[in-house]
Structure 1
Amino acid sequence: MTEARRPTLRDIAAALGLSINTVSRALGDKDSVSAATRTAVQAEAARIGYVPNSLARSLVLGSAMTLGLVITNPSNPFYAQLISSIELRARAEGYSLLLLVTDESAENEQRATDALLRSAVDGAVVVPVQAEWDHWRRVRDAGIPMVFVNRDVPELDCDMVGVDNERGGYEATTHLITGGARKLLVLEEDLPITTTADRVAGFHRAMADAGLEVSAESVRAVPTKRYDSLALPWQPEEAYRFAATLLAGGERPDGIVTGNDYFALGLLRALAELGLSVPGDVAVTGYGDHPYAGYLQTPLTTVRLPATEVGRTAVEMLVRRIKQDSTERPRKILIRPELMVRASTTG
């Protein structure tokens, strides 16, 4: 059996009676090739199934035309949307993506940096684990531009784009206070990451602005299975059990801010089983605006995260850094989220 051979530029050139150089320029959309020739070359390439050899192209251009994307947890709806946005924008810029998943593990993240260095990517979009950062210094020192997303590594002074989570926590809390809540509680995840800390900081600022008391018991960390495998999605049942125990013990807040919509989902069930109405007895906010949030029996007031805008902005920053502005000072961009007001706070 004859082994199938990959179509080449030579095949297109022979079929059309053109030089290989002309075919290459036509496929590269060079101005020196007429529109008619370009159309004929592209049609023949499509007919025979020609696919450019990216390795050969990278040797000619001095660029792999590939971006690394290092992400912690693709099961998180925010990151799933982020991946889609980054891939779409990278493709529009002519780049392919090398996707590496760390599962919130510092060890996996070090393996990911090794893969980036071996693959000679042009740049990388990174959601860091925030446990260690020396391996990211190696990537930076190797001349690979990076943009951190949603979490920063201040020690490296690289470009960063993310959600203004402090603002999100502030607006959710202020909304409950404006609606009449005075004894507020936060249910947050127990991960040592800046996104959680920023939301809690927003809660504290809103309470201080309203002159309301905050105690050590005002912010509760929900024990989650994510400690066993940090890449697991949030589990509503964990917030349900935690809230049911807390509320059955006599805790009676009139407003609860949750750090994600999954926690809000578990909380709503716990409140219903205890005979507490939402928002009559307890007003509830979520965070993330996941697809089900507006379709619950009591539609959930929550904070919508601008994942698409974050992803697009990150790629644009990275491509600009790769192509021209390598001496520009690193920038930090925080994009404001949007509070989606629904029945869980307004009745």
Structure 2
Amino acid sequence: MTEGPRPRPTLRDIATALGLSVNTVSRALGDKDSVSASTRAAVQAEAARIGYVPNTLARSLVLGSAMTLGLVITNPSNPFYAQLISSIELRVRAQGYSLLLLVTDESVENEQRATEALRRSAVDGAVVVPVQAEWDHWRRVRDSGIPLVFVNRDVPELDCDMVGVDYERGSYEATSHLIAGGARRLLLLEEDLPITTTADRITGFRRAMADAGLAVPDDSVRTVPTRRYDSLALPWQPEEAYRFAQSLELPDAIVTGNDYFALGLLRLLAERGLDVPGDVAITGYGDHPYAAYLQTPLTTVRLPAAEVGSTAVDLLMQRLKASGAERPRKTLIRPELVIRASAPIARPSQPTAESGSPPEEPAMHRL
């Protein structure tokens, strides 16, 4: 006869085996100081022997906390967000919390469903990459008592904590580096997605051009139609920039909003027999793993994904522990320009990105 599943081990099983009270066992497993080291060791050993797993739901009822944080992400296929998820999960686990991951695929409808899931699950707080199309559903989450930390994109209407990358500065430094290397006719290829990260990179490009005294015609910023119109959460494709650039009059240098666009451009230039950076210099954005291993290694902007994730969790934990009404913090973390062979080194007679005028600092904390 086949045996059925064994009953789930309980605190009472451990207490009976050791001749202790259930309360003592509970305190021993909770590392309370009132339990001796020998009793704690015996309880932990017996719990391991019988395969006892704490009932997190019961614990949350006792503590008044789900010990769970939410993470709402738009696009986990994006390498930046993949690193962000890993960083947040490690930080959350170190704090003794579990993580509830919800993916919106850049859809407002999916995001609205995610907010309902957060409220039903009674998470203690949430780290959120918002779609940025609507925000009333996030207002309802905040007003229900769940603290929010927005990541990478802000929702200024809600005045919540926010941690992100200084995308404007990264674009400014990449553009300034190309100008310092002798480029005078520059083009920015960006993704056609109405989010603040794209707008910030465009602002950084225009500011660097203006600071160098160069004209910034309207057609110096071009947006690439992509498959993300079918699903905004799809990853970028090198093919999209490759096809788009075939009809362009090539300038001295091209700044791209992501490394995938730069990869498509490198193929097009190679097919035309053009030298990089001699004929056309190129910079990317993201510093994805392949960037350093191309035939012409890519100058690009490295994003501090792990630092953004850990900073967001730390800020959320501070918010959970805070007793006062501290004002929300806006934190931008500076990216790093990684100089490789696809962009020329600055000419001695030209100003370098470091010596040029940096963009004005907005009124927010920067790391």
- Compute the TM-score of the two structures, normalised by the length of structure 2: 0.92
Question: Residues 224 and 325 of structure 1: is their aligned pair in 2 closer, same or farther, counting only changes over 3 Å?
Answer: farther
Question: Residues 326 and 235 of structure 1: is their aligned pair in 2 closer, same or farther, counting only changes over 3 Å?
Answer: farther
Q: Which runs of 5+ in 2 are unaligned?
A: 346-367
Greater Cα offset, 319-328 or 44-53: 319-328
More helix as a share of residues: 1
The one-letter code sitting in structure 1 at the alignment partner of 2:326 is E
CA-to-aligned-CA distance 1:184-215 (integer Å, 9 cap, x gap)? 00000000000000011000111111001101
Q: 236, 253, 256: which is aligned to 1:255? A: 253
Tell me, in whole angstroms, the C-alpha distance in 1 between the residues paired with 2:222 and 2:120.
43
Offset at residue 346 of structure 1 (A): 3.0
Cross-structure match for 2:212: 210
Tell me, in whole angstroms, the C-alpha distance in 1 between the residues paired with 2:18 and 2:278.
76
Offset at residue 325 of structure 1 (A): 4.5
Greater Cα offset, 317-326 or 251-260: 317-326
Q: 15, 22, 25: which is aligned to 2:24? A: 22
Secondary structure of 1:278's aligned partner: coil
Tell me, in whole angstroms, the C-alpha distance in 1 between the residues paired with 2:278 and 2:269.
11
Tell me, in whole angstroms, the C-alpha distance in 1 between the residues paired with 2:280 and 2:145.
53
Contact 2:238–2:260 (Cα < 8 Å) also in 1? yes
CA-to-aligned-CA distance 1:133-152 (integer Å, 9 cap, x gap)? 00000001101000000000
CA-to-aligned-CA distance 1:43-77 (integer Å, 9 cap, x gap)? 22122111110100000000000001000000000
Query: RMSD of aligned C-alpha atoms?
Result: 1.0
Cross-structure match for 1:59: 61
Q: 79, 86, 95: which is aligned to 1:77? A: 79
Tell me, in whole angstroms, the C-alpha distance in 2 between the residues paired with 1:325 and 1:222.
47
Identity over aligned residues, as a percent? Answer: 83
Residue 170 of structure 2 is aligned to residue 172 of structure 1: no
The one-letter code sitting in structure 1 at the alignment partner of 2:261 is F
CA-to-aligned-CA distance 1:224-273 (integer Å, 9 cap, x gap)? 00010011110010011111222xxxx13111000000000001001111
Q: 223, 245, 248: which is aligned to 2:247? A: 245
Tell me, in whole angstroms, the C-alpha distance in 1 between the residues paired with 2:229 and 2:107.
11
The one-letter code sitting in structure 1 at the alignment partner of 2:275 is S
CA-to-aligned-CA distance 1:155-188 (integer Å, 9 cap, x gap)? 0000000000011110110111111111000000
The one-letter code sitting in structure 2 at the alignment partner of 1:321 is R
Q: Runs in 1 of length 4+ with deviation above 6 angstroms?
A: none
Question: Residues 48 and 346 of structure 1: is their aligned pair in 2 closer, same or farther, counting only changes over 3 Å?
Answer: farther
Cross-structure match for 2:163: 161
Residue 186 of structure 2 is aligned to residue 184 of structure 1: yes
Q: Which runs of 5+ in 1 are unaligned?
A: none
Offset at residue 13 of structure 1 (A): 1.3
Secondary structure of 2:123's aligned partner: coil
Question: Residues 312 and 17 of structure 1: is their aligned pair in 2 closer, same or farther, counting only changes over 3 Å?
Answer: same
Q: 312, 316, 338: which is aligned to 1:318? A: 316
Cross-structure match for 2:325: 327
- Compute the TM-score of the two structures, normalised by the length of structure 1: 0.97
Cross-structure match for 2:348: none
Tell me, in whole angstroms, the C-alpha distance in 2 between the residues paired with 1:325 and 1:130.
30
Q: 87, 93, 105: which is aligned to 1:91? A: 93
Contact 2:163–2:312 (Cα < 8 Å) also in 1? yes
Offset at residue 127 of structure 1 (A): 0.2
Tell me, in whole angstroms, the C-alpha distance in 1 between the residues paired with 2:252 and 2:45.
67
